[in-house]
């Protein structure tokens, strides 16, 4: 396989100097001696990628950017590869355990190397396959917060049919080696529960005529099919109107915020909450929604609900077993919250002390029953969904009037004059006149009492989503985050089938401002889980290299994107020598580093290049790059840095200190060692043997070289090269 070369870069003026050359181009594949591993090498003229793989036991990736045919590369795991590319590729791999193995790989026109980067339910996956004739070696590394797990890869199917449930192997050839890795990181979550989860009180669009609460024209609960888990023989509209499940509930609002915060990451939500649901409705089939008037269904049939957990399990199955979080609000209907409030506002209750006297002796028993129901629900979640993180919402207090002088600051009496519709027969008059101080104080305590159950020592280990800070935004205030009956009637109509009063099911439920506040706390609770998932996709770039440089001008850095969740890259630039600090120009937004350098974060998914603007003078810099995500919360926003590379905007000087020595290996073979002092700014070196214009050029990345043969070279000279040009050749030795 001939190595290609190209001219066009600057060269130093002076004695003979080599032409600038492109790197090796082609594919090589073969076996590693003493193992069952294969090796594959691909070069595209700018970079070389190599992979050593023994299915499930060895998976080492190597990347280099030198144009020489002789390379020394190191993997991220510490393995080392020496490589000489020609008609065949020969070399040696030293694994992290210290064992060394020689190899020979033949040049081939066939695709031999495949790679897959992406996300699985267990973490970031790096898959690699080598195809050699009819045999394949494949390994998968799964990188998670718990470490790295190496396992055999599923067999690769070269017919083109899918071989993986989430990712598909991509061929690595000279024409595809530099292509970026697609962003495949996803966060999958479910939201289930009762009316405080479903969005009761805040349909997507309200009734067309707010003054005619018996006409449901215009009412629509939602239309986002991407968050709907279909039910057999039921339309989305019928399902949503049955449950009063709104696209403007807290969870869908949170979902949209997450999508905006974490650009470059895919989010999937399965939304199953149903107004009026109790814990049993999350476990069992058959619930048919809250007791609403038939007219409010707008001609749709009620949809008997599958168990909400079963629908979330369908979501998990649809996403190849991935489920990152489960959010819910549940328990209020188990303790009869709606019945209690109804009693408190009912005008004909003759019980002394009102609803407080009636319900206080019963309520503690109901709380104990709720604790038992939570334990059962927790076990069913584990059985059906596995050990998914569960987030449980606290219930808010809709009766907080914000009065600093009042203990408790409870909505009662004339408080409802702030914006309620009061007066004989008005929609909110029963709240003003029938909720006594004693009853209001009792109702005020209900949310804290229900929330205390999940905080018992014996409670399930669920993360608690705190109730939004609704103090001063109760339904009786001038800036309510909850619906009075009048607000519910104007928004979703007279839909609640209750005698005596004309009631809306939206009463005492959050309005749009309230569900915005719900979205705040849901997002805050989910972000640590999202951040952890995103961080696993911030793989370090590979193949970081100097793509081009202008003499006394700008330097362009290039790399291979291997991240699957990034939306930016951070480039760290430092002067390589004290005098190079004068050439640093600080871009807008750059972070100043000690020693005169800077770090700059540049936006872009699949970004693979950065132009470093330099003051017009010769200078040399060190560079390293890492993938980032700007949406991650407190803590690290970036992955690991790539190895450091050096770039210069001047051609290197002729190397000094060239020396050659030869020692016998066998009776017929000698080993010749050639070494020289490294030249500042050099990327590679060109040896010419013998030291004349007819000599053979050999390129290498290091400042030493070995030749084995029957005799030593008659003479040798060396030049140094980079992206600006090459130096003149040194004086030949011996």
Q: Give the pLDDT confidence score for residue 7 in this predicted structure.
A: 32
- pLDDT of res. 594: 93
- The alpha carbon of residue 644 and the mean position of all alpha carbons in its chain are separated, in whole angstroms, by 25
Together in a domain, 361 and 442: yes
Q: Which of 62, 73, 30, 65 is nearest to 44 (CA)?
A: 65
Do both 3 and 132 map to the same domain?
Answer: yes
Going by pLDDT thresholds of 50, 70 and 90, the confidence category of residue 5 is very low
Residues with Cβ < 8 Å from 588, sequence gap 6 or more? none
Query: For residues 477 and 402, what is the distance between their CA atoms, to the nearest angstrom?
Result: 8
Query: In terms of pLDDT, which residue wins out, 553 or 16?
Result: 553
Residues of the chain with pLDDT > 90, as a percent, come to 67
State what percent of residues in the chain have pLDDT above 70: 93
Task: Say whether both 528 and 547 belong to one domain.
Answer: no
- What pLDDT score does 161 carry? 41
Is residue 731 situated within a structural domain? no
Average per-residue pLDDT for the chain: 89
CB atoms within 10 A of CB 358: 18
Residue 728 lies in a domain: no
Lowest mean per-residue pLDDT among 317-331, 559-573, 705-719: 705-719
pLDDT digits (tens, 9 = 90+) for 24-81: 899 999 999 999 999 999 999 888 999 999 998 999 999 887 676 788 888 888 899 9
Radius of gyration, alpha carbons of the chain: 35
Residue 14 pLDDT level (bands cut at 50, 70, 90): very low
Cβ atoms 402, 477 nearer than 8 A: yes
Do 521 and 564 have their domain in common? no
pLDDT value for 353: 61
In whole angstroms, give the CA distance from residue 154 to residue 189. 27
Q: How far apart (Å, rounded) are the C-alpha atoms in residues 102 and 93? A: 6
Read off the CATH number of the domain in which 319 is found: 3.40.50.1110
Angle between the 437-453 and 355-385 helix axes, to the nearest 10 degrees? 20
**What long-range pairs does 633-636 form, CB within 8 A, spacing at least 24?**
633/527, 633/528, 633/531, 635/531, 636/535
Q: Which residues pair with 365 in a beta bridge?
A: none
Average pLDDT of 313-336? 95
CATH number of domain containing 584: 2.60.40.10
**Per-residue model confidence (pLDDT) at position 499:** 64
Domain that holds residue 686: 659-721
pLDDT digit string, tens, across residues 71-101? 888 888 889 998 888 889 999 999 988 899 9
Contacts of 638 (CB under 8 A, 6+ apart): 538, 570, 626, 627, 628, 629
Do 240 and 388 lie in one domain? The reply is: yes
Q: What are the tokens at 594?
A: 């000690």
Which two structure tokens, joined as six digits, stand for 382? 């584990």
On whether residue 474 sits in a domain, the answer given is: yes
527 and 481 share a domain? yes
At residue 609, φ and ψ (nearest 5 deg) are -155, 150
Range 168-172, long-range pairs (CB < 8 A, 24+ positions): 168/116, 169/114, 169/115, 169/116, 169/127, 169/129, 170/114, 170/115, 170/116, 171/111, 171/113, 171/114, 172/42, 172/49, 172/111, 172/113, 172/114, 172/115
- CA–CA separation, 550 vs 552, rounded Å? 6
Confidence at 629, pLDDT banded by 50, 70, 90: very high
Q: Which DSSP letter does residue 461 get?
A: -
Q: Do 215 and 528 meet the contact criterion of CB atoms below 8 Å apart?
A: no
pLDDT confidence of 106, banded at 50, 70, 90?
Answer: very high
SS3 state of residue 428: coil
Q: Which helix (H) or strand (E) holds 392?
A: strand 390-393
Q: Parallel, antiparallel, or unpaired: how do β-strands 390-393 and 463-465 relate?
A: parallel
Structure tokens at 612: 């470093």
Residue 228 pLDDT grade (very low, low, confident, very high; cuts 50, 70, 90): very high
Residue 482 lies in a domain: yes
Q: State both tokens at 299.
A: 């001609």
CA distances from 669 to 353, 481, 659, 674 (A): 108, 88, 20, 16
Strand partners, 436: none
pLDDT of residue 349: 58
Asked, for residue 726, whether it belongs to a domain, the answer is: no
51: number of Cβ within 10 Å: 29
Q: Which of 73-87, 273-287, 500-514 has the lowest mean pLDDT?
A: 73-87
pLDDT of residue 356: 78
Residue 9: pLDDT over 50: no
Distance from C-alpha of 276 to C-alpha of 284, rounded to nearest angstrom:
14
Number of domains in the chain: 4
Q: Which of 502, 535, 568 is the last residue of a domain?
A: 535
Categorize the per-residue pLDDT at 343 as very low, low, confident or very high, splitting at 50, 70 and 90. confident
| Range scoring the smallest mean pLDDT among 147-151, 344-348, 581-585 | 344-348
8 A C-beta contact, residue 68 and residue 84: no
Let me know if residue 52 belongs to a domain: yes
Note whether 22 and 6 are within 8 A (CB). Answer: yes
The number of angstroms, rounded, from the C-alpha of 614 to the middle of its chain's C-alpha atoms is 34
pLDDT (average), residues 232-252: 96
Does residue 289 sit in the same domain as residue 310?
yes
Scan for tokens 């028993």, then name that residue: 365
Closest-CA residue to 438 (of 505, 343, 510, 502): 343
DSSP state of 361: H
pLDDT score at 12: 39
Mean pLDDT over 160-179 rounds to 70
> Is the pLDDT confidence value at 451 over 90?
yes
Query: Residue 550: pLDDT above 60?
Result: yes
Measured distance CA(567)–CA(564) in Å, rounded: 9
Q: How far apart are CA 690 and CA 416, in angstroms?
A: 100
Question: pTM, whole model, 2 decimals?
Answer: 0.85
| pLDDT class of 705 with cuts at 50, 70, 90 | confident
- In this prediction, residue 8 has a pLDDT band, given cuts at 50, 70 and 90, of very low
Q: Tell me the two tokens of residue 580.
A: 């190079």
User: What is the distance between the alpha carbons of residues 20 and 8, in angstroms, rounded to a whole number?
Assistant: 7
If asked whether residues 418 and 530 sit together in one domain, one would say yes
CA 56/CA 727 separation, integer angstroms:
46
Residues 6+ apart with CB under 8 A from 267: 186, 187, 188, 189, 255, 258, 259
And the tokens for 351?
A: 């019980």
Q: Residue 418 pLDDT more than 90?
A: no
How confident is the model over 388-409, as pLDDT tens digits?
Answer: 999 999 999 999 998 888 899 9
Q: How far is CA 707 from the centre of its chain?
A: 48
Judge whether 87 and 107 are in contact, CB under 8 Å: yes
Contact 118, 131 (CB under 8 A): no
Residues 422 and 287 placed together within one structural domain of the fold? yes
In the sheet with 670-675, reading across from the earlier edge strand, the strands are 659-664, 670-675, 704-709
Q: Which of 111, 119, 273 is nearest to 200 (CA)?
A: 273
Mean pLDDT, residues 547-568 taken together: 94
Q: At what angle do helices 337-345 and 355-385 cross, to 10 degrees?
A: 160
- Claim to verify: residue 339 and residue 411 sit in the same structural domain: yes
d(CA 30, CA 90): 9
Q: Please, which pLDDT band fits residue 333 given cuts at 50, 70 and 90?
A: very high
Last residue of a domain, one of 621, 650, 679: 650
* Domain-terminating residue out of 179, 199, 219: 179
CA 339 to chain centre: 44
DSSP per-residue letters across 315-338:
HHHHTTT---EEEEE--TTTTTHH
Cβ burial of 34 (10 Å; 0-12, 13-18, 19+) is: exposed
Nearest alpha-carbon partner for 571 in 554, 593, 548: 593
Answer whether residue 730 is part of any domain: no
Q: Is 440 helix (H, G, I), strand (E, B) or coil?
A: helix
User: Looking at the domain assignment, is residue 620 inside a domain?
Assistant: yes
Is residue 223 over pLDDT 80? Answer: yes
pLDDT tens-digit map of 659-684: 999 998 888 888 899 999 999 999 88
Q: What CA–CA distance (Å, rounded) separates 370 from 331?
A: 7
Q: Are residues 529 and 548 in the same domain?
A: no
Residues 450, 366, single domain; the answer is yes
């Amino acid at each position: 396989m001939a190595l290609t070369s190209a001219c066009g870069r600057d060269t130093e003026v002076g004695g003979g100097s080599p032409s600038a050359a492109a790197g090796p181009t082609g594919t090589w594949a073969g076996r590693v001696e003493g193992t069952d591993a294969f090796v594959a090498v691909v070069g595209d003229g700018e970079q070389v990628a190599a992979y050593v793989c023994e299915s499930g036991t060895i998976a080492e990736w190597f990347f280099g950017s030198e144009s020489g045919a002789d390379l020394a590369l190191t993997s991220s795991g510490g393995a080392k590869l020496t490589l000489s590319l020609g008609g065949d590729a020969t070399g040696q791999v030293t694994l992290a355990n210290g064992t060394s193995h020689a190899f020979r790989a033949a040049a081939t026109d066939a695709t031999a190397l495949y790679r897959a980067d992406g996300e699985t339910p267990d973490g970031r996956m790096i898959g690699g396959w080598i195809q050699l004739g009819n045999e394949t070696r494949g390994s998968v590394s799964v990188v998670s917060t718990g470490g790295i797990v190496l396992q055999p890869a599923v067999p690769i199917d070269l017919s083109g049919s899918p071989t993986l449930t989430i990712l598909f192997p991509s061929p690595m050839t000279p024409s595809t080696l530099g292509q970026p890795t697609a962003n495949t990181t996803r966060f999958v979550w479910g939201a289930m529960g009762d009316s405080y989860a479903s969005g009761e009180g805040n349909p997507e669009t309200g009734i067309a005529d707010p003054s005619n609460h018996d006409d449901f024209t215009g009412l629509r609960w939602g239309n986002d099919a991407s968050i709907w888990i279909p039910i057999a023989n039921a339309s989305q509209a019928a399902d949503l109107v049955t449950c009063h499940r709104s696209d403007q509930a807290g969870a869908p609002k949170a979902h949209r915020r997450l999508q905006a915060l974490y650009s470059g990451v895919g989010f999937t939500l399965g939304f199953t909450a149903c107004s009026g649901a109790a814990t049993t409705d999350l476990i069992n089939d058959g619930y048919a929604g809250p007791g609403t008037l038939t007219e409010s269904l707008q001609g749709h049939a009620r949809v008997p609900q599958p168990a909400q957990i079963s629908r979330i399990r369908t979501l998990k199955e649809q996403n190849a077993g991935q489920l990152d979080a489960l959010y819910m609000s549940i328990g209020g209907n188990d303790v009869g919250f709606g019945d209690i409030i109804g009693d408190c506002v009912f005008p004909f209750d003759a019980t002394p002390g009102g609803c407080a006297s009636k319900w206080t002796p019963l309520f503690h028993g109901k709380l104990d029953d709720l604790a038992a129901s939570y334990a059962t629900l927790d076990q069913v979640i584990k059985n059906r969904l596995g050990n998914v993180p569960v987030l449980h919402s606290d219930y808010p207090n809709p009766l907080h009037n914000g009065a600093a002088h009042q203990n408790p600051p409870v909505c009662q009496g004339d408080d409802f004059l702030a914006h309620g519709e009061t007066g004989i027969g008005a929609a909110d008059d029963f709240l003003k006149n029938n909720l006594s101080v004693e009853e209001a104080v009792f109702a005020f305590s209900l949310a804290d009492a229900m929330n205390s159950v999940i905080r018992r020592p014996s409670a399930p280990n669920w993360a608690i989503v705190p109730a939004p800070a609704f103090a001063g935004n109760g339904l009786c205030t001038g800036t309510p985050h909850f619906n009075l009956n009048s607000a519910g009637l104007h928004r979703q109509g007279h839909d609640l089938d209750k005698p005596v009063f004309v009631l809306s099911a939206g009463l005492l439920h959050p309005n749009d401002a309230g569900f915005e506040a719900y979205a705040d706390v849901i997002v805050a609770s989910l972000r640590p889980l999202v951040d952890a998932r995103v961080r696993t996709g911030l793989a370090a770039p590979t193949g970081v290299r100097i793509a081009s440089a202008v003499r006394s001008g700008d330097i362009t850095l290039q790399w291979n994107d291997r991240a699957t969740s990034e939306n930016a890259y951070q480039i760290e630039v430092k002067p390589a020598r004290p005098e190079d600090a004068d050439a640093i120009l600080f871009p807008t937004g750059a972070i100043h580093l000690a020693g005169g350098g800077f770090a700059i974060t540049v936006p872009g998914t699949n970004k693979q290049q950065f132009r470093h603007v330099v003051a017009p003078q010769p200078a040399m810099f060190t560079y390293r790059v890492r993938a980032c995500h700007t949406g991650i919360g407190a803590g690290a926003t970036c992955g690991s840095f790539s190895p450091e590379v050096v770039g210069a905007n001047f051609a290197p000087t002729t190397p000094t200190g060239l020396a050659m020595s030869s020692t016998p290996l066998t009776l017929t073979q000698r080993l010749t060692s050639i070494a020289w002092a490294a030249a500042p700014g050099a990327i590679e070196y060109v040896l010419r043997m013998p030291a004349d214009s007819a000599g053979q050029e050999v390129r290498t990345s290091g400042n030493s070289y070995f030749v084995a043969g029957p005799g030593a070279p008659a003479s040798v000279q060396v030049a140094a090269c980079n992206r600006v040009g090459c130096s003149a050749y040194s004086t030949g030795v011996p």
